[in-house]
Chain A
Amino acid sequence: MTQRRSLRKTLLLTNGIIALFLVLILFAISLFVFSLRSLHNAQESYSALADEGSYLMGLFLDSVVSDLEQAGRIFRASRLEQGIEADTTLVIQELLRTLVDQGRFRTVLFADKDSTVLAAYPESNLEGFSLRNRPEASTLEGQIYRGRIGLNLEGFQTLPVAVRYKDILVIGELRLDWLQTLIDSLAIGRTGYALAADIDGTLVAHPDHTLVESRLNISNLSVVAEARAEGTSKGIFKDGGILRIGAAKVIDSWGWILLISSRLDDTLSAISSMALILAAGIIFCSLLFFISMQAAVKRILSPLSLLFEGVHKMSLGDYVALKEIPLSFIEIDSLASEFALMASKVADRNRLLQQSIHEKELLLREVHHRVKNNMQIISSMISLQRSAIQDSAVSNLFMEAERRVQSMAMIHERLYLSEDLASIELKDIVRELFGASIQSTEGTLEVVGDTVQLGLDQAVPCALALNELALNAVKHGCENNTECSIRVSILKSGKKTTITVEDSGPGLPDDFDPKFSAGLGMNIVQALTKQLKGTLIWGISSLGGAEFVLSFPFQEPAIKNNA
């Protein structure tokens, strides 16, 4: 059995989910702001590190230049003191060993003013080689040549640095792995690293040494391009399809660029995890909200729809449907329960009313029955009286009176035999009255037209008037013609009922006017027409005889029984 829930609680739960959803949205906005802040902080950190790193790297690089200058001084001094052949003295050898063996230079070359190698360490067989086409050969005293990465005569990628001391050119070919050691300590995070590029953007130091070996140029990186133009830069940039965040700084006097960066997703890894949880939370809340809304809608709409149908059926008299509403929320169940109770009470009351109506019907039927019986008694008494009268004229008067009483009795009989006790079919009255009148002849009766239900108020005068017209039609229409025809047409047009009585008799005299008729019948007809608030027209029938047209406004039967 389904457990009933409170709509209030459900609405509270739904609102709670919405509130949670809003909280998550706020959390997402906070996360976004926090992300921006984190990126800003990372950029600032990298920028500070790049500043410091570029300064230190500049110091290291300047120190090697100083060492080269020192080497040039000592080399020249030793040559002046000991002659041209004495360039391999212990002092020079020690100095060169210091420069090379400490891992800073791959080769150190000393050349004369013609750029011919005077001495080289450790490759002494380079002596006598020409350096004329090397750009560093044109270095002037006081200048420092900072070259580009290129192959040396040993086939290694090196970065030449040159100084001139008087007529001695000193070229040191910097080892790229030594340059790498300068920036190794600047590595950050799991995917962070520092790199250095020369003035053209060609890598001189990178954790992936093969990139340096292959002289990869990174001047196309936005952060490097900006640093080359502005001296410093920071921001998010794309490297090989990967988004990175970092800062770049130009190393003073060298023009090189130090770039410190890390993968953006690494920098935002914590935030990414939070964002992932947040996204999952939002999706979960959305699903929960959707499902709960679906369930709530189903639990509200279905019972409400059935309740509506039930109430509608109740208005049509079906009081059972309301009992079939399934369980919903407590509030809706209570509403349905109250409606069902109301329906039950209305049904009980309706039953009592039906019972009362039935009793009244029985009573009314009995009244009509008794009226009819009394009238028949009156009719019988008149008939008895009539049998004692010898004078045929008087007897006829009695007979007419008897017929009129019978007509009224017939109306009451029809009424108590009718279903609703309130209306009589006009055609039935016509057939009864005209049928009884024409029975004594061999004439034919034709009743045509619309179905009209008359109430008691109109049925009695109408029946009495028709009785007179029937008697008149039979009396005059079939007096000398036993095969006469009588046609009664009934027309209901709007609120008007029209009864046309025609016969095939000799017709009315030319000067006929009911007002001046001496007969009681026509007077009765006129009186009853007036009572019916109608009109009476006469003329010549299409059957050849007389024609009477009785028209009167139609009244709905006063009592309508729906049972």
Chain B
Amino acid sequence: MSNSTARAGRLFVGFAIIILILLSSCGKKPVVLGFLGGVSGRFSDLGISGRNGAQLAIELRNASGGIEGRQVQLALADDQQEPDAAIRAFKKLEEAGAVAIIGPMTSDMALAVKPFADKSKLLLISPTASSPALSDLDDWFIRVNPVDVSEGRDLARYIQAEGALSLFIYYDLNNKNFSEGTEKTLRNALEGSGISIVSLPFNSKESSNYSAFIQNSLEKQGTPDAVVVVASSVDAALICQLLRKDGFKGSLYGTGWSMTDDFIRLSGSAGEGLIFSHYFDRNSASPRWREFSEQYKGRFGVEPDFIAGLGANAAIVAMEGLLAQRPGTTLKDTIISMRNFEGLQGSLSFDSYGECDLERFKFRIKDGQLVVDE
């Protein structure tokens, strides 16, 4: 009888333990990666493509087991291309327990949130922010793209090579750090070249009716041989359309900020022949990129653009770093010490400040396609 009681007692305790185990263990907690970018409004093409690329890279990692058995979860926060909103978005991701943040997508937003990232020691891995103001700092910001100084220099070289004598630079102050930096680089690079340069800043936030602005610039300054547009895809497309509508027949140059499918679609024949300097070739024959492109098309129905590729690269760096991270070390130190990562189109190599230098190519829009200009 006493044995039965003891057995009943053991069964009861066992039952209670099983219930407790069932209640307490509901699988491993996922690793949260944040994504901070503008996914709404007129600048959203950058953020949407970057998010999709990061999302797919994470889904592919999760399908192959995640990070040491833990699934990776992408937490999204929209910076609306507004510094205050970007700071709120950063704090939202921090509260969500993000171990690193993919983003921001633009230099202005990166500069807005960087002090908070430095304070929280929460690593920002930007796919596209390229301002030199973010360079060579021992901070909590790294990027998988090169600094834009080289972009400005390349564009200057192309302009000189085509024999232009006059140049208009339309640049949007809404991403001031990037656009002013590019304008300055162009000016410096073309100094002494004999090319007359007219800088035409505008703010897309204040007004997007550029008709009068373009007309006035052409009327007052005369029609230039070449125009560089430093703006988002929508604004760059509008400016190109207006320039062509107003009779501009010279060469057009753009920056990575507008090198998206939305620009090609919206600029129409006005964008034909526009030249970019970039380091990411969407027609690359890299097997890894081709495979990723196929998967991206299957997942989102469209071909990935360079931003999607960079978003994926940033996510790959973050996940590889998390996989290699050991207790007592930071993710930033782990990534910097690892130095080399296999990106979608080849190796990414970080310096001690988390800067990544990549070879640039000359791209041209030809028949509605972005192709490497031989």
Binding site for B on A (CB under 8 A): 115, 125-126, 128-135, 148, 150-157, 198-202, 210, 213-215, 217, 219-220, 241, 286, 290, 293-294, 297, 300-301
Residues in A whose Cβ lies below 8 Å from that of B265: 133-135, 150
Given contacts A128-B245, A293-B8, contact A151 B40 (CB under 8 A): no
Q: List 8 A-B contacts (CB under 8 A).
A: A130-B244, A133-B266, A150-B262, A151-B234, A214-B48, A215-B44, A219-B301, A297-B1
B268 adjacent to A219 (CB under 8 Å): no
Instruction: Determine if B241 and A213 form an interchain contact, defined as CB atoms under 8 angstroms apart.
Output: no
- Return the CB mask of B266-304 against A: 1 if under 8 Å, else 0: 111111100000000000000000000000000111100
Interface flag for B209 (CB, 8 Å): yes
Given contacts A130-B270, A133-B266, 9 further A-B contacts (CB under 8 A): A129-B268, A129-B270, A132-B268, A133-B368, A151-B44, A154-B234, A201-B301, A214-B40, A297-B1
**Chain B 2-55 interface residues, beta-carbon cutoff 8 Å to A:** 2, 5, 8, 12, 15, 39-42, 44-45, 47-48, 51-52
Of the candidates B2, B51, B245, the one whose C-beta lies within 8 Å of that of A301 is B2
Q: Which residues of B contact A210 (CB under 8 A)?
A: 39-40, 78
In the complex, are the beta carbons of B8 and A215 less than 8 A apart? Answer: no
Asked if B120 CB lies within 8 Å of chain A CBs, one says no
Cβ-defined contact, A220 with B299, below 8 A? yes
- The answer to whether B268 touches A202 (Cβ under 8 A) is no
A214 to B76, CA, bound (A): 10
Judging by beta carbons under 8 Å apart, are A130 and B241 in contact? yes
Do B40 and A213 have beta carbons less than 8 Å apart?
Answer: yes
Complex-state Cα separation, A154 to B232, whole angstroms = 12
A202/B241 contact (C-beta < 8 A), A129-B270, A134-B268 known: no
- Which of chain B's residues have a CB closer than 8 A to the CB of A219? 299-301
B41 touches A155 (CB 8 A): yes
Q: Is the CB of B47 within 8 A of A214?
A: yes
B205-219 Cβ-contact flags toward A at 8 Å (1 or 0): 000110100000000
How far is B238's CA from A125's CA once the two chains are assembled, in angstroms? 11
> In angstroms, how far is the closest chain A Cβ from the Cβ of B309?
17
CB pair B268–A286 under 8 Å, yes or no, is no
Q: Which residues of B contact A133 (CB under 8 A)?
A: 264-269, 271, 368
Q: Which residue of A lies closest to B59 (CB)?
A: A220
Cβ of B237 < 8 Å from any Cβ of A? yes
Is B255 in contact with chain A by the CB < 8 A criterion? no
Q: Which of chain A's residues have a CB closer than 8 A to the CB of B211?
A: 125
Across the interface, which residues of B come within 8 angstroms of A201, CB to CB?
300-301
Residue of A nearest to B238 (CB): A153
In the complex, what distance in Å separates the CA atom of A130 from the CA atom of B267? 7
Cβ–Cβ < 8 Å partners of B264 in chain A: 133
Specify the chain A residue showing the minimal Cβ separation from B369. Answer: A133
Q: Judging by beta carbons under 8 Å apart, are B233 and A214 in contact?
A: no
Asked if B209 and A155 make an inter-chain contact with CB atoms under 8 angstroms apart, the answer reads no
Docked-complex contact B208 and A217, CB < 8 angstroms = no
Compute how far the CA of A200 lies from the CA of B299 in the bound complex, rounded to whole angstroms: 8
- Report B-chain residues with C-beta under 8 Å of the C-beta of A115: 268-269
Q: What is the chain A residue whose CB lies nearest that of B2?
A: A301
In the complex, what distance in Å separates the CA atom of A213 from the CA atom of B78? 11
Question: Contact between B42 and A151 (Cβ–Cβ < 8 Å)?
Answer: yes
Most chain A beta carbons < 10 A, residue from B59, B78, B237: B237
Q: Range of interface residues on chain B?
A: 35 or more
Which chain A residues lie closer than 8 Å to B47 at the CB level? Answer: 214
Using CB atoms and an 8 Å cutoff, list the residues of chain B in contact with chain A: 1-2, 5, 8, 12, 15, 39-42, 44-45, 47-48, 51-52, 59, 73, 76, 78, 208-209, 211, 233-235, 237-238, 241, 244-245, 262, 264-272, 299-302, 368
Q: Are B245 and A129 in contact (CB under 8 A)?
A: yes
Is B267 in contact with A213, judged by CB distance below 8 angstroms? Answer: no
Pair A200/B51 contact, Cβ less than 8 Å: no
A321: min CB distance to chain B, Å? 21
B interface: dominant SS: helix
Please give the distance in Å from B261's CB to the nearest CB on chain A. Answer: 8
Chain B, Cβ-Cβ closest to A133: B368
When distances are taken between beta carbons in the complex, the residues of chain B under 8 Å from A125 are: 209, 211
Closest chain A residue, CB of each to CB of B37: A214
Q: Main secondary structure on chain A at its contact with chain B?
A: loop
Which of B209, B237, B268 has the most C-beta atoms of chain A within 10 angstroms of its own C-beta? B268
Check B5–A297 contact: CB distance below 8 A: yes
Taken together as a complex, chains A and B put the C-alpha atoms of A530 and B59 apart, in Å, by: 114
Pairwise interchain contact B368-A132, C-beta atoms closer than 8 A: yes
Q: Whole-angstrom distance between the alpha carbons of A490 and B280 in the complex?
A: 122
In chain B, what residue has the closest Cβ to A155?
B42
- Give min CB distance, B303 to chain A, whole Å: 12
CA of A297 to CA of B235, assembled, Å: 85
CA separation between A128 and B268, bound complex, in Å?
A: 11
Bound CA span A361–B270, Å = 142
Chain B residue numbers with a CB within 8 Å of A301 are: 1-2, 5
B301–A148 contact, CB under 8 A? yes
Check B5–A153 contact: CB distance below 8 A. Answer: no
Closest 10 CB pairs of A and B: A200-B301, A155-B42, A130-B268, A214-B39, A130-B269, A133-B368, A213-B40, A132-B269, A132-B268, A129-B241
Complex Cα distance, B1 from A293, in Å, reads 11
Q: When the two chains form their complex, are residues A154 and B269 in contact, meaning their CB atoms are under 8 A apart?
A: no
Chain A neighbourhood of B5, CB < 8 A: 293-294, 297, 301
Complex Cα distance A132/B1, Å?
91
Q: How far is the CA of A131 from the CA of B44 in the complex (A)?
A: 21
Task: List, in ascending order, chain A residues with CB within 8 A of B48's CB.
Answer: 214-215
B364 to chain A, nearest CB (A): 14
Q: Which residues of B contact A220 (CB under 8 A)?
A: 59, 299
Contacts of A215 in B (CB 8 A): 39, 44, 48
Bound form: Cα–Cα A154–B48 in Å: 18
From A199, A217, A297, B299 is in contact (CB under 8 Å) with A217
A136: nearest chain-B partner, CB-CB: B265
* Interchain CA distance A134-B266 in the complex, whole Å: 7
Given the complex of chains A and B, what is the CA–CA distance between A290 and B9 in angstroms?
8
Asked whether A151 lies within 8 Å of B241 as measured between CB atoms, the reply is: no
Whether the pair A213, B39 counts as a contact (CB closer than 8 A) is yes
Q: How far is the CA of A120 from the CA of B25 in the complex (A)?
A: 60
Residue of B nearest to A128 (CB): B245
Query: Nearest chain-B residue to A130 (Cβ)?
Result: B268
B40 to A, closest residue via Cβ: A213
Nearest B-chain residue to A150, judged by Cβ: B262
Q: Are B238 and A202 in contact (CB under 8 A)?
A: no
Chain A residues near B241 (CB-CB < 8 A): 126, 129-130, 153
CA distance A301 to B3 in the complex (A): 12
- Min CB distance A562 to B, Å, is 36
CB contact between B266 and one of A151, A198, A241, A293 (< 8 Å): that residue: A151
| Bound Cα distance A301, B45 (Å) | 79
Taking the closest CB of chain A, its distance from the CB of B214, in whole angstroms, is 11
Contact at A217–B1, with CB atoms within 8 Å?
Answer: no
**Chain B residues, CB < 8 A from A214:** 39-40, 44, 47-48, 51, 76, 78
Closest to A241 in B: B73
A residues in contact with B41, CB < 8 Å: 155, 213
Other-chain residue from B2, B44, B245 in contact with A213 (beta carbon distance below 8 A): B44
What's the Cα separation between A155 and B244 when bound, in Å? 20
- Bound form: Cα–Cα A157–B40 in Å: 8
Contacts of A200 in B (CB 8 A): 300-302
Other-chain contact of A131, B8, B208, B268 (Cβ < 8 Å)? B268
CB of B268 within 8 A of CB of A155, answer no
In the bound complex, how far is the Cα of B48 from the Cα of A294, in angstroms? 65
